[in-house]
Amino acid sequence: MKHKVVATVHIRHVLGGNNMSTLTYENKNKLKDVKQYDVWFADLGESNGHVQGGKRPVLVISNDVGNQRSPVVIVAPITSSKTKNKLPTQVHISAEDVGFQRDSIIQFEQIFTLSKDTELIGNRKLTHIPEEYHDELEKAWMISMLGNKKYYSNRTNFR
């Protein structure tokens, strides 16, 4: 006898106060196979001033246990804009290293939580960021979340 897996997840909107969204998944196996350091194409919605929006690549930064079990993932947007400030929360990625058309910047100062079903576009990742970038990505993420000053001295482009 097969058991039906039903999970209900409540997501509290940051800007919406007490508004709640409920997502119900009847089978976790239907969730997209997403791994930490994967790059996916995502719909971030409308841009609001300096907040990244639109359809663009994003880096999955949530851990693999959560990625396997949850209907949502935590991501950092990726831009190819050369006009961005050089911040310690940003990691520059070589196009050649990841198979992009242009060098890009991963922006840990603009982290989002996205639904795998509705906001990740397509059924597969675009690429996986090579391991040689992982330490730098983790440092930028830590600076973004905790402001860990021990990493600032290693980021010479901080203004």
Q: What is the CATH number of the domain that holds 121?
A: 2.30.30.110
Q: How far apart are CA 150 and CA 2, in angstroms?
A: 51
Phi-psi sector, 6: left (phi>0), alpha (psi -120 to 50), beta = beta
Residue 132 included in any domain? yes
- Answer for the pair 71, 9: CB distance below 8 angstroms, yes or no: yes
Residue 25 included in any domain? no
Residue 74 included in any domain? yes
Domain count, the chain: 1
Range of the domain at 136: 31-154
Residue 104 included in any domain? yes
Q: Model's pTM, two decimal places?
A: 0.73
Task: Pull the structure tokens for residue 14.
Answer: 């940051």
Over the stretch 120-144, which tens digit does the pLDDT of each residue have? 988 889 999 999 999 999 999 999 9
Predicted confidence at residue 72, as pLDDT, reads 95
Residue 19 included in any domain? no
Spans of the chain, pLDDT less than 70: 1-31, 83-84, 148-159
Residue 106 included in any domain? yes
Among residues 143, 61, 129, which one has the least CA distance to residue 155? Answer: 143
Residue 8 included in any domain? no
Residue 117 included in any domain? yes
